[in-house]
Amino acid sequence: MSFSPIVGLSCRRSQERWEAARGGCRNKGVMGMAQYLILLGVHAMDHIPDEDMPAVGKAAHAVCQEAIDAGVFVSASGLEGQPSIVAADGTLTDGPFPEAIGGVTIVDVPSREEALKWAAKTAGACRCAVQLWEFGFDPELDAMLRQANSR
């Protein structure tokens, strides 16, 4: 997979400013937890024979159930269809894009170490490597959520 280094750099710089403003607190939102994105590349599971896919699906669902039971599950899904890119001016470009994301899982956990454990479980169940990304903290969005939760 390929991600824009410019966007990544911008996010890292913003994250650093937000952390400094919050006294070094990383990505701790309304619930005091950090959300992590576990990504599977669109071709990450191409090596798995068709006859093995039901077992892979069962193993992936078992990991999701474990995350649900642990109270850290947010969402998970394979992505369907072809991706579309919508430019800032509204111009639409349809896929396919060979380096697109094939599936995502989001967990809400207290630490990166905990997120790495869930990423390893996902990788094992899906029989492929995964990427782990921490969602950046947005203090304005956090304030909006706190206000909504207080209603």
* Every domain of the chain and the residues it spans: 5-149
Instruction: Note whether 72 and 119 are within 8 A (CB).
Output: no
Q: What is residue 98's predicted lDDT score, i.e. its pLDDT? A: 64
CA–CA distance, 47 with 60 (Å, rounded to integer): 16
> Can you identify the CATH homologous superfamily of domain 5-149?
Dimeric alpha+beta barrel (3.30.70.1060)
Q: What is the mean pLDDT of residues 72-91?
A: 90
Helix (H, G, I), strand (E, B) or coil at 91: coil
Helices 112-126 and 53-70: crossing angle, nearest 10°?
160
Please give the model's pTM, rounded to 2 decimal places.
0.73
Helix (H, G, I), strand (E, B) or coil at 134: strand
Q: What is residue 29's predicted lDDT score, i.e. its pLDDT? A: 52
**Is beta strand 34-41 parallel, antiparallel or unpaired with respect to 101-109?**
antiparallel
How much is the mean pLDDT over the chain? 82
